[in-house]
């Protein structure tokens, strides 16, 4: 079949939207990738003939299940759980689990789709998946969270395995939740395997997995700046979120000589013109993770800081910005404001935090803009290294792992250059990441035939 017989981008997207009604996040993620892949495929007949993009944009399977649990007052509560196994062309499905009331099939399908390209970019053998539940951990007791995790795993266990699908954490799922889920998996199956990553160090976890996503996002940012002969020393940074990714991104910015001005949560953002130092970051980590506090309480603790209720931090003038909270938290107007205020680089710690309008603003302004699938891949990369350590039944040293994370982030940066450097001083990192991630998965799929 000739290339010209094939559908164009608008017709392809019309089909995606028709087949996935009421799934705006999923359609958005596919559109963002398809915009680059259609150009790349224009002269590559096999990808068209074999319908590769159409196949990657149809998950291998979506498992949806009921999760019942009993709250502390003896009420029976019913939640919905999912695992989306998007593509396993280059390795077992791999991707986090999210517990948040906003979780639905569209959100998890977009995350599993993005994960497929991200995991390919790491260079490690991992396919793409994602799971989660609309369970809201906020305000729940530790016992309630444990019972929920156990019930969630009571169904999930039959769909996963160390060589099948290896979940990890994401929003609302950290070391504690992974512990409860791993405990239940072990109890049901009587097997101690590397079925989850993000485990505790005493029971098969890897050093630096906790820090890896945030650190990796800053390494990627530093790589982009270095490519322009610049660095982070003295640069001001605006960061959203105050969870795992945001706090570790902040920590690495400080370590590399930058000054962090903001952090946020779903209640609003704090602005600290004196800079959020390591001591202050330690306080935030303790406050958000162990005390389950709100970011607004920062201003009572640290003089000179202000809280901005219900607002995102993108109006604070800065050199670099790191959205590290959630999807679609940085809209077109926010992007225009950042560019107008002189922001020179954006590195996404979150998945798809910038909406399509914002992506186009950054691309048109030709600033350094790294999409999450490239810049936040450090977390899943160290998850991949955790899987290797589990298979080897060994634990590698911290300095080895730190170096591997740096090397992997540098490797992803180089892959982006291969397909995104226009040769005239501008690197389109979105295009570079999309094409490099796609090509690896696509070529594996070609090898397997029509399956």
Count the residues of the shown chain that bind ligand 2IT, applying the rule CB under 6 A: 12
Verify binding: residue 347, ligand NDP, rule CB under 6 A: no
CB 262 → ligand 2IT: shortest distance, Å? 22
CB 181 → ligand NDP: shortest distance, Å? 15
Q: Which of 131, 167, 194, 243 binds ligand NDP (CB under 6 A)?
A: 243
Binding to ligand NDP by CB under 6 A, coded x per residue (else -) over 179-218, reads ----------------------------------x-----
CB 349 → ligand 2IT: shortest distance, Å? 10
Whole-Å CA distances, 86 to 60, 83, 115, 193: 5, 9, 9, 22
Q: Which of 60, 170, 251, 272 binds ligand NDP (CB under 6 A)?
A: 170
Helix (H, G, I), strand (E, B) or coil at 259: strand
Verify binding: residue 380, ligand 2IT, rule CB under 6 A: yes
* 246-248-251 Cα angle (round to 5): 110
- Which residues ranging from 183 to 202 are in contact with ligand 2IT (CB under 6 A)? 197
- Judged by beta carbon, residue 121 or residue 276, the one nearer ligand 2IT is 121
- Which residues ranging from 115 to 144 are in contact with ligand 2IT (CB under 6 A)? 115, 118
Instruction: Give the contacts of 407 (CB within 8 A, at least 6 positions apart).
Output: none
Q: Which of 119, 262, 326, 434 binds ligand NDP (CB under 6 A)?
A: 326
Strand 268-271 relative to strand 259-265, pairing: antiparallel
Verify binding: residue 122, ligand NDP, rule CB under 6 A: no
Q: Which of 91, 241, 379, 420 binds ligand 2IT (CB under 6 A)?
A: 379
The sign of the torsion formed by the CA atoms of 122, 124, 125, 129 equals negative
Residue of 94, 109, 118, 130 marked catalytic: 130
Q: What span, in angstroms and rounded, lies between the C-alpha atoms of 88 and 295?
A: 39
Whole-Å CA distances, 306 to 133, 272, 317, 371: 34, 7, 15, 29
Verify binding: residue 324, ligand NDP, rule CB under 6 A: yes
CB 118 → ligand 2IT: shortest distance, Å? 6
Q: Which does 95 bind (CB under 5 to 8 A by kind): ligand 2IT, ligand NDP, none?
A: ligand 2IT
- Which residues ranging from 353 to 392 are in contact with ligand NDP (CB under 6 A)? 376, 379
* 348-110-401 Cα angle (round to 5): 50
**Binding span for ligand NDP by CB under 6 A among 263-271, 334-342, 418-426, 438-446:** 263-271
- Crossing angle of helices 244-255 and 278-285, rounded to 10°: 170
Closest CA to 197 of 387, 376, 378: 387
Q: What span, in angstroms and rounded, lies between the C-alpha atoms of 349 and 249?
A: 8
Helix (H, G, I), strand (E, B) or coil at 421: strand
Active site residue 130: yes
Which stretches of 242-365 are DSSP H helices? 244-255, 278-285, 298-301, 332-340, 356-365
Which stretches of 174-292 are DSSP H helices? 175-189, 209-227, 244-255, 278-285
> Residue 362 CA to chain centroid, in angstroms?
19
> Residue 219 CA to chain centroid, in angstroms?
15
The answer to whether the CB of 327 falls within 8 A of the CB of 25 is yes
**Binding span for ligand 2IT by CB under 6 A among 26-34, 90-98, 142-150, 176-184:** 90-98
Verify binding: residue 353, ligand 2IT, rule CB under 6 A: no
Work out the number of other CB atoms within 10 angstroms of the CB of residue 234: 9
Verify binding: residue 244, ligand 2IT, rule CB under 6 A: no
Verify binding: residue 241, ligand NDP, rule CB under 6 A: yes
Q: Which does 242 bind (CB under 5 to 8 A by kind): ligand 2IT, ligand NDP, none?
A: ligand NDP
Q: Which of 96, 131, 194, 437 binds ligand 2IT (CB under 6 A)?
A: 96
Residue closest to ligand 2IT (Cβ):
96
Which residues are catalytic, by number?
130
> Residue numbers of the site for ligand NDP (CB under 6 A)?
100, 102, 169-172, 213, 241-246, 265-267, 324-326, 329, 349-351, 376, 379
Under the rule (CB under 6 A), what is the footprint of ligand 2IT?
94-96, 115, 118, 168, 170, 197, 351, 379-380, 383
């Amino acid at each position: 079949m000739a290339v010209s017989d094939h559908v164009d981008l608008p017709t392809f997207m019309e089909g995606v939207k028709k087949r996935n009604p009421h799934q705006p996040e999923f359609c958005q993620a596919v559109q963002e990738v398809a915009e680059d892949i259609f150009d790349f495929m224009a002269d590559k007949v096999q990808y068209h003939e074999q319908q590769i993009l159409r196949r990657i944009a149809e998950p291998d399977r979506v498992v949806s299940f009921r999760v019942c649990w009993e709250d502390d007052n003896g009420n029976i509560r019913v939640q919905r759980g999912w695992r989306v196994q998007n593509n396993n062309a280059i390795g077992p499905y791999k991707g986090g689990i999210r517990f948040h009331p906003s979780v639905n099939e569209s959100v998890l399908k977009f995350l599993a789709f993005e994960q497929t390209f991200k995991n390919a970019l790491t260079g490690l053998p991992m396919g793409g998946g994602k799971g989660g539940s609309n369970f809201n951990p906020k305000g729940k007791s530790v016992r309630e969270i444990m019972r929920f995790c156990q019930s969630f795993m009571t169904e999930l266990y039959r769909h996963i395995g160390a060589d099948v699908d290896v979940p990890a954490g994401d929003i609302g799922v950290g070391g504690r939740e992974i512990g409860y889920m791993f405990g239940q998996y072990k109890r049901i199956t009587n097997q101690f395997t590397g079925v989850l990553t993000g485990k505790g160090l005493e029971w098969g976890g890897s050093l630096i997995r906790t820090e890896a996503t945030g650190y990796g996002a800053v390494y990627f940012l530093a790589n982009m700046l270095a490519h322009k002969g610049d660095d982070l020393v003295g640069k001001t940074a605006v960061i959203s979120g105050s969870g795992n990714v945001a706090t570790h991104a902040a920590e690495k910015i400080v370590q590399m000589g930058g000054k962090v001005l903001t952090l946020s949560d779903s209640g609003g953002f704090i602005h600290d013109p004196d800079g959020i130092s390591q001591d202050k970051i330690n306080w935030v980590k303790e406050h958000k993770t162990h005390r389950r506090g709100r970011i607004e309480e920062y201003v009572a603790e640290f003089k000179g800081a202000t809280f901005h209720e219900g607002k995102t931090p993108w109006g604070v003038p800065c050199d670099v910005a790191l959205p590290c909270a959630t999807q679609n938290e940085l809209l077109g107007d926010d992007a225009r404001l950042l560019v107008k205020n002189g922001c020179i680089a954006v590195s996404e710690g979150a998945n798809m935090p910038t909406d399509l309008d914002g992506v186009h603003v950054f691309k048109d302004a030709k600033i350094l803009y790294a999409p999450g699938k490239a810049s936040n891949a450090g977390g899943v990369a160290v998850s991949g290294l955790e899987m290797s350590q589990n298979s080897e039944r060994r634990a590698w040293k911290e300095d080895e792992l730190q170096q591997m994370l740096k090397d992997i982030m540098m490797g992803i940066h180089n892959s982006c250059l291969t397909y995104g450097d226009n040769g005239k001083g501008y690197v389109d990192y979105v295009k570079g990441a999309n094409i490099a991630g796609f090509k690896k998965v696509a070529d594996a799929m070609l090898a397997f035939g029509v399956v």
